[in-house]
Structure 1
């Protein structure tokens, strides 16, 4: 299972030690890599070697914390061959497609953002559909290479420790922490930054909390980390891929992109609709499934 109940004070203390150790290791491993990325002053897409290493810091930190804190790996499950897991994985992959269709479709339809076609594409609609299909399939699978690094740490370790440690609103807190981890690169304009970097950072944190609630609900429900991993990889592939690629205009980053107003609103609404009946349990109030 991916979440355990802290039944004794020893369990609570163990969870708190693990949480402190994990967050400390994430900070220790992230700062040097963030410094290298920021000093380069180029978009993160041009620094894939550093970005990939950064995305695997949470997984490495969680592994060290598990061993050092004597917790083991029994609560980290990669079960996939179960109907419930497969259904949630499919929903996780389709989620960014739905969010993108609502947010970017609205922006294009209202003329807030221009639907731009890459040079050489004879049919804009066909080109976009093909890119979207490729992103939601091949892109989502390839993206596991990087997304797994984050999800093994954030959803696979930190979230359950926040619950066990008795942290108020643990999943929301986890979403805020995860979102803030991205903030330095947003404030430097190298990732998901709009005209106002401070507003983009705040907006991105809202998106991060929404995604954390969604992926945590499915992770706790299935007992598998795969919905979070493939949900994360599909989000990156779909939103950062075809939807961003086919959008342009002076105010594009205000309305769309990972910190755009319409994306923030669509992500929050669709996520709540999908897990509304499971929100109490996702926030650490209800019971979680076990193997």
Structure 2
């Protein structure tokens, strides 16, 4: 690879500097309160929008067109797969957890709360779970996308295409994944963004998962030319893991060490998916021909 002039990195450095400056405000608010739910969750929403706002500011400073962030829809098949892939890897991971008894299916107390919240009465837990899965799987994705969009305008709208110009697929996936994961660490280490495991363990599992997922996000972003694949991937991931599979899993003692983004199973499954999309890297267009 040819040596890249130092000024080629200025857009990335500018973007990351603005992202850090904006994020610091919400890091402080969340860490000071100790919980992501502080401010009725609006501090967390604000944090998730910092990369997107930083990308818009960076584009303005650089005199670039905002349309270059990848707003076009692209081929619908990529959007459909973007929705399904998190469901597939989450289902595989949690099925392993349930089969081996590392967590139980299902948490009866949680399903009881769902029954009361839906006002269904005594209709059977199976129907309640199915209704919850379908309703949240459809309408919850739309709500989840509103926060995911803020991050993805920055990470996959700006950062990934910018890195891809000089670094190629593998390095772009690794670098953007590491940055994406590290950006979460202040609230993981100093607030309650954790499922209850020691910080070092949660951080290790989380970083492996995020970097693995970065290969999937980068592949779809470059292949489709669309920012929306990343938004849907992110929204689907957050929804199925944080709102469906994790709450439905019963704690059998050491369950936090296996479930969610901070347990060991999802990162292992994530590595398998990362290897698969890394093997498909030759299908991607070179940087100058990106959509």
TM-score higher than 0.5 = yes
> Greater helix share, 1 or 2?
2
Aligned to 2:49: 56
Matched, 1:90 2:91: no
Matched, 1:278 2:268: no
Q: Cα offset for 1:182?
A: 0.7
Please list every run of 5 or more consecutive structure 2 residues that lacks an aligned counterpart in the other structure. Answer: 116-122
Matched, 1:36 2:29: yes
Aligned to 1:109: 99
> C-alpha root-mean-square deviation of aligned residues, in Å?
2.5
1:116-195 pair list within 5 angstroms = 116-117=107-108, 118-119=111-112, 121=115, 123-166=124-167, 169-195=171-197
Matched, 1:76 2:78: no
Aligned to 1:256: 259
> Can you list the C-alpha shifts for 1:29-82, whole angstroms capped at 9, x where unaligned?
1112111101111244874110111111001101111111223224222222x5
Q: Cα offset for 1:98?
A: 1.1
Aligned to 2:119: none
Aligned residues: 277
Alpha-carbon spacing, 1:234–1:225, altered in 2? closer, same or farther (3 Å): same
Q: With structure 1 as the length reference, what TM-score do the two structures score? A: 0.86
Q: Is the 8 A contact 1:108 1:114 kept in 2?
A: yes
Aligned to 2:290: 290
Task: Give the secondary-structure state (helix, strand or coil) at the position aligned to 2:182.
Answer: helix
Q: Separation in 1 of the partners of 2:156 and 2:103?
A: 34
Aligned to 1:4: none
Q: Separation in 1 of the partners of 2:39 and 2:96?
A: 30
Q: Cα offset for 1:281?
A: 6.7
Aligned to 1:266: 269
Q: Separation in 1 of the partners of 2:242 and 2:254?
A: 17
Q: Separation in 2 of the partners of 1:276 and 1:32?
A: 36
Task: Give the secondary-structure state (helix, strand or coil) at the position aligned to 1:56.
Answer: helix
Aligned to 2:120: none
Q: Cα offset for 1:138?
A: 1.0
Q: Is the 8 A contact 1:94 1:136 kept in 2?
A: no
Q: Separation in 2 of the partners of 1:161 and 1:112?
A: 41
Matched, 1:19 2:7: no
Q: Separation in 2 of the partners of 1:182 and 1:8?
A: 31
Mean CA deviation greater in 165-174 or 184-193:
165-174
Q: Separation in 2 of the partners of 1:185 and 1:281?
A: 37
Aligned to 2:236: 234
Alpha-carbon spacing, 1:55–1:93, altered in 2? closer, same or farther (3 Å): same
Q: Cα offset for 1:280?
A: 5.4
Mean CA deviation greater in 216-225 or 248-257:
248-257
Task: Give the secondary-structure state (helix, strand or coil) at the position aligned to 2:64.
Answer: coil
Q: Separation in 2 of the partners of 1:48 and 1:132?
A: 23
Please list every run of 5 or more consecutive structure 1 residues that lacks an aligned counterpart in the other structure. Answer: 1-6
Aligned to 1:208: 210
Q: Separation in 1 of the partners of 2:50 and 2:184?
A: 13
Q: Is the 8 A contact 2:152 2:231 kept in 1?
A: yes
Q: Separation in 2 of the partners of 1:192 and 1:62?
A: 28
